[in-house]
Chains A and B, each alone.
Chain A
Amino acid sequence: MLNYFIRRVLASIPTLLIVITIAFFMMRIAPGGPWDKERSLPPEIEANIMKAYDMDKPLVEQYFIYLGKILVGDFGPSYKFRDFSVTDLLMGGFPASLQIGGMAIFLAVIFGTLFGAMAALRKNSAADYSVMTMAMTGIAIPNFVMAPVLTLIFGVYLSWLPVAGWGDGSFQYKVLPVLALALPQIAYIARLTRGSMIEVLHSNYIRTARAKGLRERLVLLRHALKGAMLPVVSYLGPATAAVITGSVVIETIFDIPGIGRYFIQGALNRDYPLVMGTVIFYGVLIIVLNLIVDMLYGLLDPKVRLHD
């Protein structure tokens, strides 16, 4: 197991290097630069800035300078947010994204599997159709529609919760963004669970368990649900990475100090170090979460074993 773990970690290094290289050069190929804006800068001012950020050097040289810096953990200064380094921004924003995303994923797993299992057990019943209709609606309605509707109802009309903001980070500020983030995930997981649960319920080992006279509750909880969770678990890896690195829509609408906005802001501002920082951060997170998913897979499915 440990060897497997180490092998996977080592194998991820070239993957990450490829990601960094592609991201670095693609950013530079994109037209428009960090200082192209509504008010064009006089050439001499732009030259001063390019020099200050080593951007007057050949691109390949800049690439190796960048690689050298990230090896020692220096992700560079943000071009746009000049009072912060990229590390400051990512480390400052991640706790908020993690809290919102973590809570949303937690809710999604609990309610998604619950609704999905319920629908599967009452296949083709009114309960099944209601859950599936809700799930389809949840998937179909995008965040940028869901979030304003939630704020309008609970913030503006009912005045139960703040419309946006982080305040002192207290619970009430997190309710609406967590809900807006969790609802589509709940819907997706419910649909996934229902499908795989129905398949599992028809499989031989469930039939065997029932034939052995095992109580139905145990059959469902210990065998069926465990098997049905496999596709959910594989979905959870990238979904968790996506959710806890922050949703740009949710963070913008609710004014949350997370890192989601840095992906978009960085790209739009051509803030190369910030984009690279977020890409690396996201890449590492995906790799780690996929590793966890693979480990969980081994625990859930006896057919899958992690060989040393």
Chain B
Amino acid sequence: MSFKSRTGKIFSALTLTLSLLGAPIAQADTTLRIGNQGEPASLDPHFLSGDWENRIAGDLFMGLTTEDPEGNAIPGAAESWTVSDDGLVYTFKIRDHKWSDGQPVTAQDFEYAMRRILLPETAAEYASLLYIIKNGEELNTGKAKPEDLGVHALDDKTLEITLKGPAPFLISMLTHYTAFPVPKHIVEKYGKDWTKKEHIATNGPYKLVEWLPNTHVKVTKNELFWDAANVKIDNVIFYPQEDAAALIKRMRAGEIDCIYKFPSGQIDWLRQNMPEETKIAPYLGTYYYPINTKRAPFTDKRIRQALSMAIDREIIMDKVLKTGELPAYSMVPPGTSNYKEPSYVTWKSMPMADRITKAKELMKEAGYGDDKHLKVQLRYNTDDNHKRIAIAVAQMWKKIGVETELFNSEVKVHYAELKQGNFEVARAGWVADYNDPQNFLFLLESTSKSLNYGNYDNPDYDKLMEEAYLESDLKKRAQIMGKAEAIAMEDAPIIPIYYYVSKNLVSTKIKGWKDAINDTHRTRWLSIEN
């Protein structure tokens, strides 16, 4: 064998060895697999209404502002903005970036999107979130033309939004999917088919690859995303599995990396077997019982107060739920932005025994006692936890001489009855769309129609809320809303039970997951370490 041929063979062998060694070095695509607990109704941001849809839409699209790893609003499609002195006019500078088909994202796309969602014929469920924009409600109810809307593209990169009142929550609200842009050039070309995978263009960190209803939605990294260099996960698959027990099994088998909303009933097992994966964090939501203030005898404030006082929230947290929820004594959860400490009920610190005594006195004053029991129907929608809480509450009310009839119905029937005022006391919950006390307190305004289930109507409360809408000084605004909340807590049109927590299971190989008060964890901030 000649030297030449021998070196040739050695060289070939070395090349082969290096290439074999090199094979594992070349990074395989990373894929995040999410147990999403619901099939998206749509991928069109204007037709969404749930957090499981927000998770997908937020990976595909990016609003003027977006969420950081902790869920706080940061610049998104807009790189900066200015606010007029009266807090009514916001001028956004659109970041230089592109749709996934290569077309530039312009201010016109935002103008088009906001007009579109508010057009009555679009029939968007969540359009009312943008009523804060000048002529938003008027456009949605057919009383104004699209060009009257307070959203104008001043040029390709400048968008001006005019509000009907100062709204310091606007920046946080713009992270919501109702304010996402849609690609005007695609929507106009394909109409309702624009979200099909062969047409859709997105401006977020990911783009659509596949959507197989009831099986999965797969998205892949959008190389044209403005910050693509820092997006570490290549693909995300969202599984719409509703059966949480099946999801947990899939996670144990290594088929899924993260599950949103595990069932509370599993908490003991999870704490024992998957402690590192179990993530529980405060969540911007309140679980409460509205009381029908228009139905006798619940028109009597004393009865409403007594019913609220008699509920031992700590027992519900410790013995029924056991997942770290916090007992609620206000409508607004603590930690809400643009607010102070919530205005709690005045008896928050009173020992339970004293509360029962006081509640009995109130009932007596209202004409109820041992000889005359108050009968209450407590409605709840089908869910194991709602049932367990209702049973516990019924037992607690017994102590003040209240006989409770529990009434269960499926969710549609439950809310249809609430909307029509066909209830006495009922279960409800509210999770904020944006981080601001107004998003909780507006529920109790007399003008909130179908969302003010108990038909609470106090002109003083309404007046203070109106005042708060016109106040641009954040400190003063917080004080005014605090006064309003104090009035509502004294009137007790609702019984706050607990503040929600987010309950997720996250594989230890996922890095970058942080507690977020709105439970929003955008994939662009995460990475996977095997």
B42 touches A163 (CB 8 A): no
Distance in Å from the Cβ of A250 to the closest Cβ of chain B?
Answer: 11
B213 touches A89 (CB 8 A): yes
B149 beta carbon closer than 8 Å to chain A:
no
> Out of A41, A53, A164, which one reaches B246, CB within 8 Å?
A164
CA distance A129 to B127 in the complex (A): 65
A159 beta carbon closer than 8 Å to chain B:
yes
CA distance A52 to B47 in the complex (A): 13
A36 touches B241 (CB 8 A): no
Q: A37-B411, A151-B249 are in contact. List 15 more A-B contacts (CB 8 A).
A: A31-B412, A33-B412, A40-B450, A40-B451, A44-B137, A49-B123, A81-B41, A82-B47, A165-B239, A255-B214, A255-B215, A255-B240, A265-B39, A268-B412, A269-B412
A39 beta carbon closer than 8 Å to chain B:
yes
B residues with a Cβ closer than 8 A to A are: 39, 41-44, 47, 49, 120-125, 127-128, 137, 140-141, 192, 195-196, 212-216, 239-243, 245-246, 249-250, 252-253, 255, 410-419, 428-429, 449-451, 453
Distance in Å from the Cβ of A46 to the closest Cβ of chain B?
Answer: 8
B413 touches A31 (CB 8 A): yes
A83 touches B192 (CB 8 A): yes
Q: Which of A80, A162, A255 has the most CB of B within 10 A?
A: A255
Distance in Å from the Cβ of B56 to the closest Cβ of chain A?
Answer: 12
List A contacts of B249 (CB < 8 A): 148, 151-152, 155-156, 163-164
In the complex, the chain A residue whose C-beta lies closest to that of B211 is A83
Provide 21 A-B residue pairs closer than 8 Å at the C-beta atoms, listed in order of the A residue: A32-B410, A32-B415, A36-B419, A40-B418, A40-B453, A41-B450, A53-B123, A81-B213, A93-B213, A148-B246, A155-B249, A156-B252, A163-B246, A163-B249, A165-B239, A166-B212, A252-B242, A253-B243, A255-B241, A257-B212, A269-B412
Known A48-B140, A81-B39, A81-B41; contact A165-B415, beta-carbon cutoff 8 A: no
State which residues 82-98 of A face B: CB under 8 Å. Answer: 82-84, 89, 92-93
A270 beta carbon closer than 8 Å to chain B:
yes
A235 beta carbon closer than 8 Å to chain B:
no
In the complex, the chain B residue whose C-beta lies closest to that of A154 is B253
Known A37-B415, A40-B418; contact A164-B250, beta-carbon cutoff 8 A: yes
List B contacts of A37 (CB < 8 A): 49, 411-412, 415
List A contacts of B192 (CB < 8 A): 83
In the complex, the chain A residue whose C-beta lies closest to that of B215 is A257
A42 beta carbon closer than 8 Å to chain B:
yes
List B contacts of A151 (CB < 8 A): 246, 249
CA distance A164 to B256 in the complex (A): 10
List B contacts of A45 (CB < 8 A): 123-125, 127-128, 140
> Out of B41, B214, B245, B419, which one reaches A257, CB within 8 Å?
B214
Known A38-B411, A165-B215; contact A44-B125, beta-carbon cutoff 8 A: no
B241 touches A270 (CB 8 A): no
B140 touches A40 (CB 8 A): no
In the complex, the chain B residue whose C-beta lies closest to that of A166 is B215
A35 beta carbon closer than 8 Å to chain B:
yes
Distance in Å from the Cβ of B123 to the closest Cβ of chain A?
Answer: 4
List B contacts of A93 (CB < 8 A): 213-214
A51 beta carbon closer than 8 Å to chain B:
yes
B412 touches A42 (CB 8 A): no
Distance in Å from the Cβ of A299 to the closest Cβ of chain B?
Answer: 38
A270 touches B412 (CB 8 A): yes
CA distance A206 to B323 in the complex (A): 68
CA distance A48 to B117 in the complex (A): 12
CA distance A112 to B252 in the complex (A): 34
CA distance A45 to B449 in the complex (A): 12
A191 beta carbon closer than 8 Å to chain B:
no
List A contacts of B121 (CB < 8 A): 48, 52
A255 touches B239 (CB 8 A): yes
The 7 A-B residue pairs whose C-beta atoms are closest, nearest first, are A32-B412, A52-B123, A40-B450, A257-B215, A36-B416, A32-B416, A32-B413
B239 touches A42 (CB 8 A): no
B450 touches A84 (CB 8 A): no
List A contacts of B41 (CB < 8 A): 80-83
B253 touches A163 (CB 8 A): yes
B252 touches A252 (CB 8 A): no
Known A152-B249, A255-B214; contact A164-B241, beta-carbon cutoff 8 A: yes
List A contacts of B122 (CB < 8 A): 48
State which residues 42-63 of A face B: CB under 8 Å. Answer: 42-46, 48-49, 51-53
In the complex, the chain A residue whose C-beta lies closest to that of B417 is A31
List A contacts of B410 (CB < 8 A): 32, 268
Distance in Å from the Cβ of B518 to the closest Cβ of chain A?
Answer: 16
A258 beta carbon closer than 8 Å to chain B:
yes
A258 touches B214 (CB 8 A): yes
Q: Can you list, as one digit per residue, whether each of A157-173 has a CB less than 8 Å from chain B (1) or not (0)?
A: 00100111110000000
List A contacts of B411 (CB < 8 A): 32, 36-38, 268
Known A44-B141, A156-B249; contact A163-B255, beta-carbon cutoff 8 A: yes
B415 touches A44 (CB 8 A): no
List A contacts of B39 (CB < 8 A): 81, 265
Known A82-B41, A268-B410; contact A40-B419, beta-carbon cutoff 8 A: yes
In the complex, the chain B residue whose C-beta lies closest to that of A40 is B450
A194 beta carbon closer than 8 Å to chain B:
no
List B contacts of A51 (CB < 8 A): 120, 123
Known A36-B415, A83-B195, A165-B215; contact A252-B250, beta-carbon cutoff 8 A: no
Distance in Å from the Cβ of A146 to the closest Cβ of chain B?
Answer: 13
Distance in Å from the Cβ of B276 to the closest Cβ of chain A?
Answer: 18
CA distance A33 to B449 in the complex (A): 18
A128 beta carbon closer than 8 Å to chain B:
no
In the complex, the chain B residue whose C-beta lies closest to that of A259 is B214
CA distance A164 to B241 in the complex (A): 9
List B contacts of A80 (CB < 8 A): 41
> Out of A252, A258, A269, which one reaches B243, CB within 8 Å?
A252
CA distance A32 to B250 in the complex (A): 34
List A contacts of B216 (CB < 8 A): 165-166, 255
Q: Can you list, as one digit per residue, whether each of A240-281 has a CB less than 8 Å from chain B (1) or not (0)?
A: 000000000001111111100100010011100000000000
CA distance A270 to B411 in the complex (A): 11
State which residues 185-228 of A face B: CB under 8 Å. Answer: none
B449 touches A42 (CB 8 A): yes
CA distance A39 to B432 in the complex (A): 11
A163 touches B250 (CB 8 A): yes
In the complex, the chain B residue whose C-beta lies closest to that of A79 is B41
Distance in Å from the Cβ of B84 to the closest Cβ of chain A?
Answer: 28
B241 touches A83 (CB 8 A): no
In the complex, the chain A residue whose C-beta lies closest to that of B422 is A31
Known A82-B41, A155-B249; contact A256-B214, beta-carbon cutoff 8 A: yes
List A contacts of B413 (CB < 8 A): 31-32, 36
State which residues 5-42 of A face B: CB under 8 Å. Answer: 31-33, 35-42
List B contacts of A81 (CB < 8 A): 39, 41-42, 213
List A contacts of B120 (CB < 8 A): 48, 51
List A contacts of B453 (CB < 8 A): 40
